Structures are given as C-alpha cells and as structure tokens.
Structure 1
Amino acid sequence: MKFAVSLSMERFNPEERMSDKIHNFLKLVRMADEGGFETLWTAEHHTLECTISPNPFITLTWLAQHTQNIRLGTSTLVAPYWSPIRLAGESALCDHLTGGRLEFGIARGAYQYEFDRMAGGIPQQEGVAYMKELLPAVKKLWQGDYAHDGHYWKFPVATSVPKPLQQPHPPIWVATRDPASFDWAVSVGANILSTPLSAPASEVVVLGEKFRKAVADHPEVPRPRFMMQRRTCVYDREQDWEVAVRHSIDYGRAFENLMQNIGTVNNGFPEAVPYELVANRDSYNPEAIRENLMFGTPDEIIRKLELYEAQGVDQFCLGLAFNLPFELQEKTLRLFIDEVMPHFARRAAARQAD
C-alpha cells in the first residue's frame, strides 16, 4: 500500500493572510515529496475560501517547480464545469509542465452551492451524466481528431493541443461511492478514488466489496488502482485526540452547509450549520469520530490502516484539509513519515522476500 496526501489552501476567517496559506501549503507539499509520498491530490472548488483552488492545473504546475518525485493529481475536476476541448488541452499542457507527473482525477461534483453558481443550478446528482459524456470525449481528443454530438456538448472535428506527455494519456481516476459509478469507471479503464467519509470502519469493507465486484465484472480490463481517503491527524499522546475531533466536527458542519445548501456563505466563508440541522447527528459523536477517522498515535494509525490494506486499497490518502492548524498538519506528516510509513515498507519488503 502506497500513501498520498490531499491538501488545499484554506482560509476560515478574513484575518488569515493568503500569503501565509501559500507558504504553508508549499511547505507541506515539499515535506510529502521528500518523505516518499506517492501522490499529492488537490481539488477544484470555486467561490469558497475553505478550499481555494479555482484551477488545480495552475496549482499543480506551480508545485512541479518545487518538487522532485511526487505525482500531482486533481482530486477532483468537476465535470459539469468543463468543456471537453478545454479540459483535454489544459490537462495535457499540465502533464507537460509537470514533467509527466499528472494524475487526472474527475468527479460529478459535491456541493450544490457551487452548482447553483457554476452549473446553472442543475441538481448536483446530475453531474454524473456530465462526467460519463465528458471523459470519453476527452480521451478521444487526446488521441487525435474527433467530432462530438452528445447530449451536453456538440462540436465539429477538433483535437487536444497539445497531446499529453504520458501516453496514451495520464492515469485517470474517478471519484465515487456509488456501485453504478464503480462499475462504469472500471469499465472505461479508470482507477477509483473513494472515501468512507465519517462512517464506521464497516464502510471501508463495503467500499472494498464494491471495488472487487466491479473488477470481477470486467475481466476484459486490467485491474485498476483503488485509493481511499480519510481525514487524518497523527499525534504523540492519546489524550490529544480531542483537538482533531473538534476541528473535524466544526469543518463537517460547514461541509453540510455546502452539500445541502442550507446555510449562509458570507464573502466566501461558509457558516457552520446549527447542530440541530445536521443530516446525521450520529456522525458528530466525538468518540465515533475519534475511532472512525484516521486519528491517533502512530500505533493506532497502523492498526486502523491494516483494515484498508486488507480491503485491497492500493493508496491510502491522508485528508489534511479540514481546518486543522498548520502545526498539527506538519506534525501529522512528520509522524506518518517517520513512524507509520516505515512499518508498511518493512511489510512490503518481507512479502517480496517470501
């Protein structure tokens, strides 16, 4: 099992300086690169200070100038916000400018709040239909001349300029939790990005079963890779868990604001919805959050990760973007690099020796 980290530049109050956020973001990415993480993932979002990434390709191109080995991924591009020609060309150029390190992640989109501003107010659930039309068109454009006559887009013969550096194209990842999208993604040769959100460990098993079924149902394609992400905080002392849980709860209430479109956003800053309006109050139980999410000492983290490894997860991704203070993000990466990753490296070496 390899490891990745998901990061975004995030501001949660107007007093926080953008220059500090850029500096801290770059420092964490360099730590991950030097520490042996496989991939850095960053998302696409608009009009929201809590996830500052209006075009991940710009961010990844910048990061490529400051890193050596880490793969650079979009987690994820929001399908309804793009046209096939623009997406094909921008992603291919990013692949060249990053030296062939681009990982192309795409999704239907998460926030109805954004859809109301970026996609004409279509229901967020309709994003999956856009994705299923967009991705095959982008792949055709990467190959050469192609004309498209679809439901959402129509254009005469065109091609991607430039073509990707990686051939036939950068690795493609589809973000999903839905069984039908698992099946579709595997059928088109894409890898899977998924998350159990804040659900119990049993949800990790459920997602693993969805992945295995999709793979079994499509023996005609090579087995794709399977990534799973959880909010992560690693600390020295067991009693430090309350800080991570508190930040996760506060972030979760802001997340529900955007998912359900039920709260207020002031000048880009979403307010946390009142506790009585949250959709699933059980997911805000502090003890449950402590156990379900990737929070713990290095030994606790290793214990939790073994479940993911058993479910066939090829890449576990540390979700660090939930308003966790920079000092805790930095400590999490350092402890993970020094005490968690060596454990799994030794296990992998032992299996190869056998």
Structure 2
Amino acid sequence: MEFGLFLNGYLPGPAAHDPESEHTMIMREMEYAIHADGFNWKYVWIGEHHGLVEYSHMSAPETVFSYITAKTEQIHVGSGIMNLSRPVNHPVRNAERVAMLDHITNNRYEWGTGRGAGSHEMATFDLLTSETKAMWDEAATEILRMWEQKDYTFEGEFFRVEKPHNVLPKPNGPGHPPLWVGCGNPGTFTKAGELGIGAIAFNFEPVYNLKGRIEAYKEGIANCTEPLGQFVNDNVMMTNAVVCLADRERAREIAMSPGRGYMNTMINVYHDTMPPQPGAVKWPNPPYVIPDEATLDWLIEAGYLLCGSPDDVLEQIAKYQDVGCDQLVFGIPNEGFEHDEVLEMIELFGSKIIPEFDHEPIHRTTRMRATAQRKYPDFAHPLPEGLDVGVIPTNALLPLGS
C-alpha cells in the first residue's frame, strides 16, 4: 500500500476573507508537500475548486504542481480533480495543460479527473450538473486521441475541432500521465474499473462500507480488455484523516477538539452530486463533537480516522488493506492541528509507518505506465500536397529527414 497527502486550500472562518491568511495557507500547503518528499510519501493530491468559500481556495493547482516538483525529488503530484466539463476547461486546453505538466514534472504528474463538486461550483461557469457526466465521457476519450494524432479533428456534442490541428505538446512519453477519476457514486467505481483507470474514493463513512464498491472496481478492471488510456491503471486511492503524534494524548485531544468536522459540514453543502451521508450536518450548523474517549475509540475502530502514536496507527491501518485500498491519502492540515504538528505528523508517519507497508521504491503508477501501448495512428487524414521544406535553422534540434 502506498501513501499520499491531500491538499485542498481549506481556509475556514474569517481567514477565508483575509488576503494575508489566504497567502499563508497557500504557502504552507506547498511546504507540506515539499516536506513529505523527504519522508517516504509517494503522492500529494491537490484539489481544484471554484467559488467554494472556506472549503477550498485552490483554483489553479497546475501552478502549484510546478512549484512543488521543482523543489522535490520523487513525490508525484496529482489533480484531485481536474474538471473535464467543456465550460470549465476546454478539452483541448486540458490536453495541453496535462501534457505540459508531464514535461515540467518529468513524469511525476497524475491526471485525476472528474465532473466537479456540485451545482454551486458548476454555476460559476453557467453549467448544470446534469450535463457533466456526458461532458466527461466525451472529453476523456478525445484527450487521449489528441495526444497521439497530429491532425486531430472532432465533431461532438459539446465541442468541435473542425480543421486538422496538432495539439501540442505531446506527453513526455512513452505513455501519458496515469488517468484517475473521482468516484462518489457506486456506479462510478464499476465504470472506472471497466475503463481501466484509477478510482479516487472519498471516505465519509465506515471504511468497510467501501468494500463492496472496491470489489466492483476490481471486478471491472479484471474484465477490462480495452482501457480508456494506453495502459491499465489498476489503483484505488482512498482519502481519510490521520492524527499521529509522538504524544498520544495530544493526538487524541486534537481528534476531540472543538470544530473538528467543520469541513464535513461544507462538503454536505457543496458536494450535492454525491449520495448524502446519513445524519449529515450542513453548514452553518455546528459539526458533531466527539463527546468522550469511548466514542473516539469507536470511530477509530470503524475506520473514520486513524489516531494516536505511531504504534497505535500501525495497528489501525491494516483494515484499509483488508478492503482493497492500494493508496491511502490523508487530508491535511487536519482540524485542530497547529502548523508545527502537521510537520511532525508528516515526519513521524513517513519515517515510522510508511516503511512497514510500502517496500517498493518505484511508484505503482510508474510501473503501469511502462506497459503503455499507442492506440491511434499519427495521421487520420491524407497529408496535403506541396509541403516540401528545404531549409530550416542550422541550430534545429533535429535536421530535415530525421
């Protein structure tokens, strides 16, 4: 099992309306990713959201990916998620951005995709959530074709490229960035498996509730004969919360601190395309408070979070392997943590826990990308006549005829 961090640009309370606090949050989140690179973490996922006050102020993660990878050695950066809906990100623009990130990160970018957080976010772009599934289906397939063909054309329901265009750059091959999709609804897990792409699962319930959905994904991927991309990305990534500190009592104090669960109240407002959680509390109602130690122990046992010293967390983590999780990712900064405690958690978990579960130095997605096979020919149309070029600059990287 591999491990990662999830950053979302979370900025609760009055700080969401203070530019200086917003800047502090952005710089700290990049610091967490850079710090994790030295402590065995393999992935950092960063959300892309628009207009979701307090919940997420991270609207352009592609700029953050470049900063992080320039200052790290091995950690992969992933979009969680890049919206493929035509009004939010034109499919050609997505193809260009992803391929460029593949170059700039030197193959360390993971292409997490999806349809957006819900109706409020989509309304930012005058878009209805009822349209987003069909837009994803159309764009995902075509972006893969843009990366291979040099005379791309398309006439679709949501976008068109009438005359042949070579969409540039191409990915830093062989292959292309691993493809993932956000899975909130049970049917999306099956669909992701059948398409041979990774599933991004958000855990807002007891961990064993996800077992059936993960099994459906694994069954789908076992039967995948024609993956959406050039290779099968057999991966289930699950998000959760962790409070791991050397001081066990302080970790438990954080888990029971006032305001824990505030982000969940915002998820229940904004993420209205996912099935609602039973008894969900919506902002501005106050989140549930963990009233006592016994309730905290029950929540830990159910898999709502991991909490305690490194020895405690080592014992708690096995259940995530039991349900078939390939990559376990933790949202940070967790509510109740101070900045220095987040850094301590990254160090402790990375140095004492990750080596017990992840013994492979090469990323799972890197191994899968190595099996990539092209799907389309270079050209779909006959070349026009009269394109004989006789002279190019002497400093060209390759000569004519090469």
What TM-score does the superposition give when structure 1 sets the normalisation length?
0.83
Q: What percent identity do the matched residue pairs reach?
A: 22
Shift of residue 142 of structure 1?
Answer: 0.8
Instruction: Answer with 135-144 or 218-227: which moved more.
Output: 218-227
Q: 1:182-216, CA deviations, whole angstroms, 9 ceiling, x for partnerless residues? A: 2332333311211222x112223233222222223
1:243 to 2:257 alignment: no
Q: Map 1:37-186 onto structure 2 (within 5 A).
A: 37-47=41-51, 48-80=53-85, 81-118=88-125, 120-123=126-129, 126-144=131-149, 145-156=151-162, 157-186=164-193
Which has the greater radius of gyration?
2
Q: Give me the whole-angstrom Cα distance separating, in 2, the residues matched to 1:190 and 1:11.
A: 31
Q: Which position in structure 2 is the counterpart of 1:264?
A: none
Greater percentage in helix: 1
Q: Give me the whole-angstrom Cα distance separating, in 2, the residues matched to 1:321 and 1:141.
A: 37
Q: Give me the whole-angstrom Cα distance separating, in 1, the residues matched to 2:11 and 2:48.
A: 15
Between the two proteins, the alignment pairs up a number of residues equal to 332
**Unaligned 5+ residue runs, structure 2?**
274-281, 362-402
3-state SS, counterpart of residue 31 of structure 1:
helix
1:31 to 2:38 alignment: no
Q: Which position in structure 1 is the counterpart of 2:240?
A: 230
Q: Give me the whole-angstrom Cα distance separating, in 2, the residues matched to 1:207 and 1:247.
A: 30
1:339 to 2:343 alignment: no
Q: Which position in structure 1 is the counterpart of 2:384?
A: none
Q: Which position in structure 1 is the counterpart of 2:2?
A: 2
3-state SS, counterpart of residue 17 of structure 1:
helix
Q: Which position in structure 2 is the counterpart of 1:210?
A: 216
Shift of residue 344 of structure 1?
Answer: 1.8
Q: Give me the whole-angstrom Cα distance separating, in 2, the residues matched to 1:318 and 1:161.
A: 34
3-state SS, counterpart of residue 274 of structure 1:
coil
Q: Give me the whole-angstrom Cα distance separating, in 2, the residues matched to 1:8 and 1:181.
A: 22
Q: Give me the whole-angstrom Cα distance separating, in 1, the residues matched to 2:143 and 2:290.
A: 38
Q: Which position in structure 1 is the counterpart of 2:268?
A: 256
Q: Give me the whole-angstrom Cα distance separating, in 2, the residues matched to 1:128 and 1:332.
A: 37
Instruction: Answer with 287-296 or 181-190: which moved more.
Output: 287-296
Q: Which amino acid aligns with 1:202?
A: Y
Q: Which position in structure 2 is the counterpart of 1:22?
A: 26
Classify 1:272/1:327 alpha carbon distance in 2 versus 1 (closer, same or farther; 3 Å): farther
3-state SS, counterpart of residue 6 of structure 1:
strand
What TM-score does the superposition give when structure 2 sets the normalisation length?
0.74
Q: Which position in structure 1 is the counterpart of 2:304?
A: 293
Instruction: Answer with 332-341 or 290-299: which moved more.
Output: 290-299
CA contact (8 A) 1:208 1:312 kept: yes
**Unaligned 5+ residue runs, structure 1?**
262-270, 349-354
Q: Which position in structure 2 is the counterpart of 1:193?
A: 200
Shift of residue 155 of structure 1?
Answer: 2.0
